[in-house]
Amino acid sequence: MSMPLRQSLRIGGYILRNKLRGREKFPLIVELEPLFACNLACAGCGKIQHPHDVLRKRMPVEQALAAIEECGAPMVSIAGGEPLMHPQIDELVNELVRRRKFVFLCTNALLIPKKIDKFAPSPYFAWAVHIDGLRERHDASVCKEGVFDDAVAAVKECKRRGFRVTTNTTIFNTDTPQTVIDVMNYLNDDLRVDEMMISPGYAYDKAPDQDHFLGVQETRELFRKAFGDGNRKRWRFNHSPLFLDFLEGKVDFPCTAWAIPSYSLFGWQRPCYLMSDGYAQTYRELLDETDWDSYGRGRDSRCANCMAHCGYEPTAVFSTLGSLKESLRAVRSV
């Protein structure tokens, strides 16, 4: 299963309008980071390695809204850090929803019980809870015991209140096809989240743990085995079918990181939220003054093992809409 029909139709229309206007590069979703601070210290994350004066900063709501309006993306993924630590996060979400942006609030879920009353269910809003595995695996990933149980309890409460809940699972070389199957089965069948996202981890330069990131061949083999036996068809993924093909190695794509730009306290990050080669003050500057042809596997050594969604999911979406066969396939999976 792919993304919700309302979302699919909206994104499809948005892409078509941009193509008809002759725009070569445009954003699908913005990775908005209104802060870098977090209440966890995950081994695979490089965001919390910023200096303390940076970790104390919070992006003003007006600045965040201006960035989203400037670039015009129909979807916003609010990340960090832990965005629920932002004192005005509910105001930011409500303003984006009012503008009919599809908002995914990425969170480790620990603060949901304290913040949930500030939010209301909407077809334009979803919690995106990070769950990297079942109890032992997840707690090891976030370097703290009890987080898995707290996250599960928060998801259940969100579902009880009528919120749309998605999950985001990062895969490392400590995973096996069976650990992936186990967590996907649990999220899909037991916890019954609305949709799931899955992606291989990227080797952040500042990540404390540099030993457990997957290579390309490892990634393809792992996903090929995990998606077998009909699992892929029955799991409720918030991904295009072609991106899942990409993870399995059935197709390959160039990186189109400009379609999922990252906007943070420093500005528009070059070239994506996983790498930092400087910042632009406007999205137009990011597009026009970044040498996009120098990035991607085979072009930049830092990209050699990257199969992350921020570079390749948009390419899969563009390829889907550029093919009648793939478009029909995507519609059938909704």
Higher pLDDT pick, 202 / 97 = 97
15-29, 59-73, 191-205, 264-278: which has the minimum mean pLDDT?
191-205
Mean pLDDT of 181-196: 97
Say if residues 308 and 31 touch (Cβ distance below 8 Å): no
Q: What was the pLDDT predicted at 46?
A: 65
Neighbouring residues of 267: CB distance < 8 A, sequence distance ≥ 6: 279, 280, 281
Q: In the predicted model, is pLDDT for residue 70 greater than 50?
A: yes
Q: What was the pLDDT predicted at 329?
A: 74
pLDDT digits (tens, 9 = 90+) for 262-287: 999 999 999 998 888 999 999 999 99
157-161, 167-171, 208-212, 218-222: which has the minimum mean pLDDT?
208-212
Which of helix, strand or coil describes residue 295? Answer: coil
Q: Concatenate the DSSP letters of all residues of 244-293 into one string.
A: HHHHHTSS-----GGGS-EEETTEEEEEETTEEEEEESSHHHHHHSS-GG
Higher pLDDT pick, 331 / 272 = 272
pLDDT digits (tens, 9 = 90+) for 207-249: 454 455 678 899 999 999 999 999 999 999 999 899 999 999 9
Higher pLDDT pick, 301 / 90 = 90
| Cα distance between residue 273 and residue 47, in whole Å | 10
Say if residues 126 and 164 touch (Cβ distance below 8 Å): yes
Q: What was the pLDDT predicted at 67?
A: 98
Mean pLDDT of 257-265: 96
Q: Positive or negative CA dihedral for 284, 288, 294, 300? A: negative
Retrieve residue 286's tokens.
């990011």
Say if residues 80 and 92 touch (Cβ distance below 8 Å): no
Higher pLDDT pick, 25 / 141 = 25
Q: What was the pLDDT predicted at 98?
A: 97
CA angle 135, 136, 141 (to 5 degrees): 100
Q: In the predicted model, is pLDDT for residue 332 greater than 80?
A: no
Share of the chain above pLDDT 90, in %: 72
Q: Which of 270, 260, 232 is nearest to 317 (CA)?
A: 260
Q: In the predicted model, is pLDDT for residue 133 greater than 80?
A: yes
Q: What was the pLDDT predicted at 200?
A: 87
Retrieve residue 294's tokens.
């120098």
Q: How many other CB atoms are found less than 10 A from the CB of residue 212?
A: 15
Q: What was the pLDDT predicted at 212?
A: 52
| Cα distance between residue 142 and residue 151, in whole Å | 12
Taking all residues of the chain, what is their mean pLDDT, rounded to a whole number? Answer: 90
209: left (phi over 0), alpha (psi -120 to 50) or beta: beta
> Is it true that the peptide bond before 271 is cis, omega within 30 degrees of 0?
yes
Share of the chain above pLDDT 70, in %: 93
Q: What was the pLDDT predicted at 204?
A: 52
Q: What was the pLDDT predicted at 3?
A: 62
pLDDT digits (tens, 9 = 90+) for 25-42: 999 999 999 999 998 888
Indicate the pTM of the whole model: 0.91
